[in-house]
Structure 1
Amino acid sequence: MNRRVQIVVALVLAALWGAGIFAAHAGGHLAFLDRLEATLTDLRTLARGVRSPPDLVTIVAIDDTVVKRGGSYPLPRADLARVVDTIVQFKPKIVAIDLLLVDRSAAIGDATLAHTLATGPIVLAAAAIFPNASETVASGSAGPLAALPQAERFLLPLPVFAEHADVGIVNVATGQSGTPLSVPMLFRTADKVELSFPLRVASRALGKPLTIAPDHLMLGDRAVPVDTDFSLPITYYGPRRTIRTVSAQSVFDGTLDRKAIENRIVVIGTAVAGGGDFFPTPFDSLMPGVEVISTAITYLLSGDSIVRDRKVHIADGLIAILLPMLLVGLLAWRRSALGFVAAAAVMAAWAGLNLFAFTHGVWLDAATPLAAAVPPVAAFIGVQLWAGGRRTQYLAAKSRSLARLQAPAVQEWLARDPDFLAKPVRQDAAIVFIDLSDFTALSQRVDPDELQDILRPFHALIDKAAVDCGGMITSFLGDGAMILFGLPRAMPDDAARALKCAIDLHRGMERWIASLPPAIGKQIGFKIGAHCGPIVASRLGESHQHITANGDTVNLASRLMEVAAQNGARLALTDTLLDAADFHGAPDGVLSGPLLTEIRGRAGVVTVWFWRDEDRPSQTATRAEMID
Structure 2
Amino acid sequence: MKRLRLPTLAALALAGLWGLGLGLVHLRGDAWFLDRFEATMTDLRTLVRGRINPPDLVKIIAIDDDVVRNEGGYPLPRAALARIVDGLARFKPKVIVIDLLLVDPGPESGDQALEQALDQSPSVIAAAAVFAQGKQWVASGESGPLAGVPSADRFLLPLQRFADRAAVGLVNVATDQSGTPRFFPMLFRQGNRIEASLPLRVAAVAAAENPGVEPDRLTLAGKSIPTDISHVLPLSFYGPRGTIPTFSAASVLNGQIDSKTIHDRIVVIGATVTGGGDVFPTPFDSVLPGVEVIATAITHLIAGDGIVRDRNVRLADVGFAVVLPMILVGLLAWRRSVVALILIVVVFLAWLGLNVAAFSYGVWLSAALPMAAAIPPVMLFGALQLLQGRRRAQYFAMRNSLLQQFQAPVVRDWLTRHPDFLSEPVHQNAAIVFIDLSGFTALSETMDADEIRELLKSFHALIDKEVVTAGGVITSFMGDGAMILFGLPEPGPGDSANAVRCCVNLCTGTQTWLASLPPSIAARLGFKIGAHFGMIVASRLGGRSYQHITATGDTVNVASRLMEVAARQGAELAMSAEMFRAAGADNALSVSGFLSGPVDTRIRGRSGSLTIWLWKSSLPGETMAKAS
Query: Please, what TM-score do these two structures have when normalized by structure 1?
Result: 0.60
Q: What is residue 10 of structure 1 aligned with on the other side? A: 11
Q: What is residue 308 of structure 2 aligned with on the other side? A: 307
1:71 Cα deviation after fit: 2.8
Q: What is residue 352 of structure 2 aligned with on the other side? A: 351
1:273 Cα deviation after fit: 1.5
Q: Is the 8 A contact 1:166 1:200 kept in 2?
A: yes
Equivalent position SS for 2:132: coil
1:199 Cα deviation after fit: 0.7
Q: Is the 8 A contact 1:62 1:270 kept in 2?
A: yes
- Separation in 2, partners of 1:254, 1:119: 18
1:73 aligns with 2:80: no
Deviations 1:259-316 (A, max 9, x none): 1111111000011111240000001100000001101111111111111011101101
- Separation in 2, partners of 1:135, 1:227: 15
Q: What is residue 103 of structure 2 aligned with on the other side? A: 102
User: Considering only CA atoms, is the larger Rg found in Structure 1 or Structure 2?
Assistant: 2
- Separation in 2, partners of 1:334, 1:132: 53
1:156 Cα deviation after fit: 0.5
- Separation in 1, partners of 2:188, 2:210: 18
Q: Is the 8 A contact 2:27 2:318 kept in 1?
A: no
Q: Is the 8 A contact 1:169 1:195 kept in 2?
A: yes
Q: What is residue 568 of structure 1 aligned with on the other side? A: none
Equivalent position SS for 2:134: coil
- The residue type paired with residue 255 of structure 1 is Q
1:208 Cα deviation after fit: 3.7
Call closer, same or farther: CA 1:50–1:120 in 2, change over 3 Å. Answer: same
- The residue type paired with residue 280 of structure 1 is P
- Separation in 2, partners of 1:157, 1:384: 65
Call closer, same or farther: CA 1:308–1:385 in 2, change over 3 Å. Answer: farther
Q: What is residue 168 of structure 2 aligned with on the other side? A: 167
Q: Is the 8 A contact 2:271 2:277 kept in 1?
A: no
Q: What is residue 47 of structure 2 aligned with on the other side? A: 46
Call closer, same or farther: CA 1:345–1:82 in 2, change over 3 Å. Answer: same
- Separation in 2, partners of 1:190, 1:56: 35
- The residue type paired with residue 352 of structure 1 is G
- Separation in 2, partners of 1:276, 1:81: 19
- Separation in 1, partners of 2:174, 2:370: 23
Q: Is the 8 A contact 1:233 1:308 kept in 2?
A: yes
Pairing 1:19-30 to 2, within 5 Å after superposition: 19-27=20-28, 29-30=30-31
- Separation in 1, partners of 2:229, 2:219: 15
- Separation in 1, partners of 2:104, 2:173: 22
- Separation in 1, partners of 2:146, 2:45: 31
Q: Is the 8 A contact 1:10 1:328 kept in 2?
A: yes
- Separation in 2, partners of 1:68, 1:383: 69
- Separation in 2, partners of 1:39, 1:131: 28
Q: Is the 8 A contact 1:211 1:220 kept in 2?
A: no
Q: What is residue 185 of structure 2 aligned with on the other side? A: 184
1:384 Cα deviation after fit: 12
Q: What is residue 31 of structure 1 aligned with on the other side? A: 32
- Separation in 2, partners of 1:203, 1:28: 28
- Separation in 1, partners of 2:50, 2:306: 16
Q: What is residue 615 of structure 2 aligned with on the other side? A: none
Q: What is residue 339 of structure 2 aligned with on the other side? A: 338
1:218 Cα deviation after fit: 0.5
Q: Is the 8 A contact 2:78 2:111 kept in 1?
A: yes
1:238 aligns with 2:239: yes
Q: Is the 8 A contact 1:333 1:339 kept in 2?
A: yes
Pairing 1:244-255 to 2, within 5 Å after superposition: 244-255=245-256
- Separation in 2, partners of 1:197, 1:232: 12
1:383 Cα deviation after fit: 8.4
- The residue type paired with residue 69 of structure 1 is N
- Separation in 2, partners of 1:48, 1:378: 31
- Separation in 2, partners of 1:30, 1:263: 42
Number of aligned pairs?
A: 386
- Separation in 1, partners of 2:385, 2:12: 21
1:61 aligns with 2:68: no
Equivalent position SS for 1:328: helix
1:27 Cα deviation after fit: 4.6
Call closer, same or farther: CA 1:351–1:340 in 2, change over 3 Å. Answer: same
Call closer, same or farther: CA 1:51–1:384 in 2, change over 3 Å. Answer: farther
Pairing 1:254-269 to 2, within 5 Å after superposition: 254-269=255-270
Q: Is the 8 A contact 2:140 2:148 kept in 1?
A: no
Q: Is the 8 A contact 1:174 1:181 kept in 2?
A: yes
1:30 Cα deviation after fit: 4.0
1:69 Cα deviation after fit: 1.5
- The residue type paired with residue 207 of structure 1 is A
Call closer, same or farther: CA 1:29–1:58 in 2, change over 3 Å. Answer: closer
Which residues of structure 2 form unaligned runs of 5+?
388-628
1:220 Cα deviation after fit: 2.4
Deviations 1:374-393 (A, max 9, x none): 0011112228999xxxxxxx
1:196 Cα deviation after fit: 0.8
- Separation in 2, partners of 1:22, 1:116: 52
Q: Is the 8 A contact 2:279 2:287 kept in 1?
A: yes
Pairing 1:401-416 to 2, within 5 Å after superposition: none
- Separation in 1, partners of 2:187, 2:228: 12
Deviations 1:138-194 (A, max 9, x none): 232221111111111111100011100100111111111111101011111111111
Q: What is residue 218 of structure 1 aligned with on the other side? A: 219
- Separation in 2, partners of 1:9, 1:16: 10
Equivalent position SS for 1:105: coil
Call closer, same or farther: CA 1:30–1:231 in 2, change over 3 Å. Answer: closer
- Separation in 2, partners of 1:47, 1:208: 37
* Percent identical residues: 56
Call closer, same or farther: CA 1:73–1:348 in 2, change over 3 Å. Answer: same
- Separation in 2, partners of 1:247, 1:28: 40
Which residues of structure 1 form unaligned runs of 5+?
387-628
1:115 Cα deviation after fit: 1.7
Query: Please, what TM-score do these two structures have when normalized by structure 2?
Result: 0.60
Q: What is residue 375 of structure 1 aligned with on the other side? A: 376
1:290 aligns with 2:291: yes
Equivalent position SS for 2:327: helix
Equivalent position SS for 1:382: helix
- Separation in 2, partners of 1:92, 1:28: 39
Q: What is residue 137 of structure 1 aligned with on the other side? A: 138
Q: What is residue 159 of structure 2 aligned with on the other side? A: 158
- The residue type paired with residue 76 of structure 2 is L
Deviations 1:195-223 (A, max 9, x none): 11001101111224411112211102110
1:132 Cα deviation after fit: 2.3
1:29 Cα deviation after fit: 4.9
Q: Is the 8 A contact 2:331 2:344 kept in 1?
A: yes
Q: Is the 8 A contact 1:43 1:282 kept in 2?
A: yes
